[in-house]
Structure 1
Amino acid sequence: MKAAAVLWGLTFAGAILTTAPAAAECVARAETQSVPLVELYTSEGCSSCPPADRWLSQQVPGKFVPLALHVDYWDYIGWRDRFAQARFSQRQRDMVNRGGGRVVYTPQVMLNGRDFRTWHSAAAFDDAVRKATGRPLQAKLALAVDKKADGWAARLTGEVLPRKGRSEAYLALYENGLSSAVEAGENRGARLQHDFVVREWIGPLPVGADGRIAHRQTFRPRDGIDFTRAGVAAFVQDADSGEVLQAVAIVVANCSS
């Protein structure tokens, strides 16, 4: 997983990562090509989720932004997932509803905000990502992260290209290389490994009537998050349909300090 993260930090599909000389700021730009978002809805209390977790960890995200959102609705079975947040369960429900679905389940993979059930087929997944990256550009994003003494100062700028409807933006702090020794529930006795786990979620953030995006957020160190294994992701989506228009990410550990 460490090797994959390093590769991602150097080039990222249509996004280019640059570091200013003698500065701690990294900038990733997704401005010339569509970069899809892959969301995995998962839980440590779900016996069918570990294969999906391993699948996500094995992906080398050179053409898409992967995020793992742990839901909390399986906690009642007997194991409380320490990475789960109620807001992720709610986002999953909202996204399913926007896509015309009625049932939430785990593991669920969404590609650009739409249910993608054939993720376990490498050929089907690669083809879907290829089509998503080849679609017309709908938004441009630039994500800058400045490593400061009191945390990471993230700055998201960009624009949604002329289109009908409202848009909204999101920022996420994610962490790699996580593991849990599960002591109860459906996965009792297993040690589960996780990557791209969302630890902090900011949004929805407004997009201007003119399509402009400009937001700042400081992610501060706190117990339980190892910033040496973390990164920042951002995306913009259609506020009504939930379709993800553009995504970008930075492995901040690879930036100069």
Structure 2
Amino acid sequence: MSTRRVGAFVLAWAVSGVAQAASLCSARSPAHRVALVELYSSEGCSSCPPADRWLSQWKDGGAASGIVPLALHVDYWNSLGWTDRFSQHGFTERQQSLTERAGGHLVYTPEVFVSGRELRSWSQDTSFDARIAQVRSQPAEADVTITLEPKNIDSASSAMNSAALTQPMRAMLDARFTAHGAGEHGPLEAYVAVYENALTTQVRAGENSGATLHHDRVVREWIGPVALDAGHAQIRREIDLPTDARNAPRASRGSFGVVAFVEDATSGDVLQAADLPACH
């Protein structure tokens, strides 16, 4: 993460005087299975903006509907005229891995996976809703909990100026994973994705040249895989809070969040996921 990224939501806590009371937020996965929806996209792809807008309907979190969405920007469009600043080669590798596990060979954008399985008919409401309903009807095969505790609040409250706003803000992430009947699956792995909402890019080249693109649920940091040992795993570390400097004056609740999930490393099936929009 860039050192220019700003944790303005933490500053808002300090200003309101409730930083100590609300410094820790948490989420836990439900008793039913939740659908992890992965959109593979690129700013260099002319057919991707409609898919980006489609995913944005869950920008404030779709966990109540059984949906945990993520936008992963791939890098194989970057040599075709426009470099996507949100792209990561690791996302290209993940897309290729999910495709190969299902016996396929072709990756493309936009492409959607639901709980580790490709859904080519994602743009058809009936097909997408049926897939989500199918996932939600199944009991959870794992429990996932996430807690997030902002750090360096004192420095934010004591330096209320533009210089303070340019300092990186960090949080302590603690994600815990417990699988049920782990022996019924292949090796299990845990992941964490830090995402950001309300991102804007003015594209100056490539297929989308001249367009202003809007993105939500964009993955900015990817952690994992971490192997589950005897059905358990924990990911605990400090992370940068990914708030785009240009959006700092209006950064607020929901501007970013954390997703954690458990995946079968052999089949690619996602057993369970949890979503924690940053709270204040």
**What interval of TM-score do these two structures reach, taking the shorter chain for normalisation?**
0.7 to 0.9
Supply the distance in 2 between the matched residues of 1:43 and 1:230 (Cα, whole angstroms).
Answer: 20
Paired residues for 1:107-256 under 5 Å = 107-149=110-152, 150-162=169-181, 163-208=184-229, 210-221=230-241, 224=244, 228=252, 229-252=255-278, 255-256=279-280
Q: CA deviation at 1:81?
A: 0.3
Q: For 2:225, what is the secondary structure of its paired residue?
A: strand
Q: Is there any run of 5+ residues in structure 1 with no aligned partner, and where? A: 1-20
Higher strand share: 1
Question: For residue 103 of structure 1, what is the amino acid of its counterpart?
Answer: L
Question: For residue 42 of structure 1, what is the amino acid of its counterpart?
Answer: S
1:91 aligned partner: 94
Q: Identity percentage over the alignment? A: 45
Supply the distance in 2 between the matched residues of 1:135 and 1:242 (Cα, whole angstroms).
Answer: 17
Calculate the TM-score normalised by the size of structure 1: 0.86
Note if 1:50 corresponds to 2:49: yes
Q: CA deviation at 1:122?
A: 1.3
Q: CA deviation at 1:158?
A: 2.7
Going from structure 1 to structure 2, the CA distance change for 1:193 and 1:207 (only over 3 Å counts) comes to same
Q: CA deviation at 1:135?
A: 1.3
Equivalent residue in structure 2 for 1:77, among 80, 86, 90: 80
Contact residue 199 and residue 244 of structure 2 kept, 8 A: no
Q: For 1:131, what is the secondary structure of its paired residue?
A: helix
Question: For residue 75 of structure 2, what is the amino acid of its counterpart?
Answer: D
Q: CA deviation at 1:214?
A: 1.6
Q: For 1:90, what is the secondary structure of its paired residue?
A: helix
Calculate the TM-score normalised by the size of structure 2: 0.79
Contact residue 31 and residue 139 of structure 1 kept, 8 A: no
Q: CA deviation at 1:118?
A: 1.0
Contact residue 186 and residue 265 of structure 2 kept, 8 A: yes
The alignment yields a C-alpha RMSD, in angstroms, of 1.7
Higher helix share: 2
Return the structure number with greater relative CO, CA threshold 8 A, min gap 6.
2
- Greater CA deviation, 45-54 or 117-126? 117-126
Supply the distance in 2 between the matched residues of 1:28 and 1:221 (Cα, whole angstroms).
Answer: 18
Q: Is there any run of 5+ residues in structure 2 with no aligned partner, and where? A: 1-19, 153-168
- Greater CA deviation, 214-223 or 238-247? 214-223
Contact residue 172 and residue 236 of structure 2 kept, 8 A: yes
Supply the distance in 1 between the matched residues of 2:267 and 2:127 (Cα, whole angstroms).
Answer: 24
Supply the distance in 2 between the matched residues of 1:222 and 1:177 (Cα, whole angstroms).
Answer: 11
Q: CA deviation at 1:22?
A: 2.4
Q: For 1:81, what is the secondary structure of its paired residue?
A: coil
Q: How many residues align?
A: 233
2:8 aligned partner: none
Supply the distance in 1 between the matched residues of 2:243 and 2:272 (Cα, whole angstroms).
Answer: 31
Question: For residue 201 of structure 1, what is the amino acid of its counterpart?
Answer: W
Q: CA deviation at 1:164?
A: 3.2
Q: CA deviation at 1:31?
A: 4.1
Q: For 1:37, what is the secondary structure of its paired residue?
A: strand
Q: Which of 1 and 2 has greater Rg?
A: 2
Contact residue 38 and residue 65 of structure 1 kept, 8 A: yes
Question: For residue 44 of structure 1, what is the amino acid of its counterpart?
Answer: E
What is the CA deviation profile of residues 9-59 of structure 1, one whole-angstrom value per residue up to 9, with x for unaligned ones?
xxxxxxxxxxxx924111111141111100000000001111100100123
